[in-house]
Chains A and B, each alone.
Chain A
Amino acid sequence: MNEPVVVNQLAKTFFDEARGEVHAVEGIDFECHAGEIFGLLGANGAGKTTTLRMLSTIIAPTSGSAIIMGHDVAKEGEVVRKSLGFYSASTALYPRLTAKETIEFFARINRYPPEKLAERVDYLITRFGIAAYANARVDKLSTGMKQKVSIARTVAHDPPILIFDEPTVGLDVLNALEMQEVIKEFRAQGKTILFSTHIMSEAEKLCDRIGIIHNGRILACGTLDELRLATGVHYLEDIFVHYVKGRA
């Protein structure tokens, strides 16, 4: 069976003025099953963002491959991007567009069928409770409101795959919890979700399978139970330390 996300020996090397040649990701392999939440768990600088950026075609891999919905990220960037929604702290909204204009624009540019566009926009506005400020400019909205518009923007074209790069960073507890609920809801809708975090409790609560990434390498990959069985420890924090320290 073809998995929606297949990553094979994916690597990324770049040059940094201060550090010289940096191997941000060093030949990682993993797969995501349809309708699951796959979590990339790692400390800051582990290679999570670089991996997700390669999968979302923002940057090109140095070597290896990543196939999203049967399409190579290095060769079929547009088709891949049409199949996924990418959300991160660095994907902000246009401040001078209204919430509704934002959702419409991203649905159109990501090729959502024009005949269904109005219905889709109305659905998202209702689903995320945006109606009260749908015609307000984004720069007038609170952080929580922007977060809702941003999620609606990510799924505006109803992609089968969603990538969330540390989505709860900078959010307060309530907004972070709401974000987790939304991600679960997307899973319930059958979407495949790639989720990166460095917060153990979040990964423990949300992810069906977890990949522990450290220094650009995947150290372990499996369900929480599989990781517990392999390490002999119960808590994810201990599992994480077990692999990272073992590596060190």
Chain B
Amino acid sequence: MSNGRDIRLLYVRELRSALRERSIVVSSILLPVFLYPLLLWIIYSGFSFVSGQTQGFSSRIALQNFPAEHRLLKAEIEGDTQIELKNSPNAEADIREGRLDLAAEFLPVDSQSPALKDPFRVRITYDSSKDRSSQARDRLTDLLTRYRNFILDSKANDLGISPAEFQQFWVDTRNVATSRQMGRFMLGLMLPIFLVIMLAIGCMHPAIDSTAGEREKSTWETLMTTATPRRNIIIAKYLYVATMASMAAVLNVASMVLSMKSILAPLLSGSGEDYTFTIPLGSVPLILLVTILLGMFVAAGMMIIASFARTYREGQSMVGPFYVATFMPVLFLQSPGIVFTPKLALMPIVNVAMVFREALAGVYHWPLIGLTLASESLCIVLALWLAASILRYEDFLLGSYSGNFVRFVKQRLLGKRATGGGKG
């Protein structure tokens, strides 16, 4: 049989054309590869820029009713080159209008027998909606904390107690998660949604181009006159769209992991968090398998819907809702507490996202994975059966049917009418 040869010929023709089409190359290859590194880089640069800008400013602080007994504290504040002391009769208004960053009002403490001399309370007024004001709060709070520790240490020393003995208790925290586990946890939260979005984006243009696009360019009829069975044409187109979808998803995952490793990890380590972003090698085959299955399912769905359109633009508007429907359920999986259950394993797309998430963390619930593979395969088979049922109709095949998918299913598949034809 020459079916394999024909399908290969048609498939290569589709791919060759696609790789010469700018919109397909951008959406299926360049976007998945470069979007997230670029976004992360922009976020990182923006964060660094804003942070650097804030760091570079001095904090304008007004001290009110400063207790004269605490000369050392005053000297510390005055000696800080990043603090600029200001007088402000109406501090709150000045803070609101950005003329002042912070006001520190020193208040007496209502205590009959204070253990330490000259106690005071500080009321800090600042504007959390302004970076510079928040920065002033951090700087003054650090300074006050250091001063309090100094006083407490001095008092302990006067009483003949070492600073270590002065502590009533100590708190040690120990995170049992390794930096690699932390990284995988974070990947598991972020990657599934991006995987589905990118897969759908990567699938959309090829799905429309190979169906509505063919009609719009009048190449569909040319293809119909070739000496190959129609099913070969459909199979080749389907394989091509599924390939582009899966390729977009795989490229995106690789790109995300690399960009998180090289951009996000250093950013997080700067704020004291330690993350290592890697995918467990043992998970790669499973991730590839579910990605391909998801690609096949989304490709089938999008092709069915897009094939009702007669122009590319019409195809885009028809496929739009399906595109949104593919990733909406996955948005609800962003909560870390969601547990993979048999019910979730039966839900298309969601199940793949869950398997993907667990595989990234090196967790394998094999019965649920089996259920996911079976459910996703069944969906693919149903989608292909639906496509085959629709393609039996001649007017649909020739593009003379003027309705959409829902109307077609109601009219034809649910048994209202079953004829169609060409034009004379």
Contacts and interface: CB of A to CB of B under 8 A. Distances in A.
Contacts of A24: 421-424
A96 interface: yes
Given A46-B424, A91-B218, 12 more contacts: A14-B395, A17-B402, A48-B424, A50-B422, A58-B422, A78-B227, A84-B225, A89-B218, A91-B225, A101-B16, A111-B2, A216-B424
Interface stretch (A102-110, A126-134, A172-180, A220-228): A102-110
A90 B400 CA distance: 13
B71 interface: no
A9 interface: no
B424 A81 contact: no
Nearest to A213: B424
Interface string A115-138: 000000000000000000000010
Interface residues of A, number: 50
14 contacts: A46-B424, A50-B421, A59-B394, A60-B394, A62-B421, A77-B229, A89-B218, A92-B218, A92-B222, A96-B17, A105-B9, A106-B226, A111-B227, A216-B424
Interface of A: 12-15, 17, 22, 24-25, 45-50, 53, 56-60, 62, 77-79, 81-82, 84-86, 88-97, 101, 105-106, 108-111, 137, 153, 157, 216
B17 A94 contact: yes
Contacts of A49: 422-424
Q: Report, nearest first, the 8 A-B pairs whose CB atoms are least far apart.
A: A14-B421, A24-B424, A92-B218, A82-B227, A50-B424, A86-B225, A91-B222, A81-B227
A145 to B, nearest CB: 17
A53 B422 contact: yes
A13 B9 contact: no
B401 to A, nearest CB: 9
B313 interface: no
A24 B420 CA distance: 12
Nearest to A62: B421
Given A15-B417, A24-B423, A81 B226 contact: yes
B420 A58 contact: no
Interface string B408-424: 00000000010111111
Most buried by A among B221, B394, B402, B424: B424
A82 B10 CA distance: 16
A58 B224 contact: yes
Interface string B388-402: 000000110010001
Interface string B165-204: 0000000000000000000000000000000000000000
A126 B229 CA distance: 31
A110 B419 contact: no
A78 B229 contact: yes
A58 B225 contact: yes
Contacts of B13: 94, 97, 105
B343 interface: no
A88 B421 contact: no
Contacts, number: 107
B228 interface: yes
Interface string B210-229: 00000001110110111111
Contacts of B394: 14, 59-60
A105 B340 CA distance: 48
A121 to B, nearest CB: 15
Contact of A13 (B2, B10, B229, B421): B421
Contacts of B229: 77-78
A119 B385 CA distance: 42
B78 interface: no
B6 A109 contact: yes
Nearest to B20: A96
A90 B195 CA distance: 39
Given A58-B398, A59-B398, A78-B229, A97 B17 contact: yes
A235 B226 CA distance: 38
A110 B395 CA distance: 24
A58 B419 CA distance: 16
Contacts of A216: 424
A102 B310 CA distance: 23
A190 B402 CA distance: 42
A94 B420 contact: no
Nearest to A80: B227
A46 B419 CA distance: 21
A180 to B, nearest CB: 22
B21 interface: yes
Nearest to A60: B394
B233 to A, nearest CB: 9
Contacts of A56: 225
A94 B342 CA distance: 47
Contacts of A86: 225
B411 to A, nearest CB: 10
Contacts of B221: 58, 88, 90-91
Contact of A110 (B10, B227, B398, B402): B227
A147 to B, nearest CB: 14
B395 A109 contact: no
Contact of A95 (B217, B417, B421): B217
A198 to B, nearest CB: 12
A113 B108 CA distance: 102
Contacts of A58: 221, 224-225, 398, 422
Nearest to B403: A17
Most buried by A among B218, B224, B422: B422
Nearest to A111: B227
Most buried by A among B10, B222, B227: B227
Contacts of B420: 14-15
B424 to A, nearest CB: 4
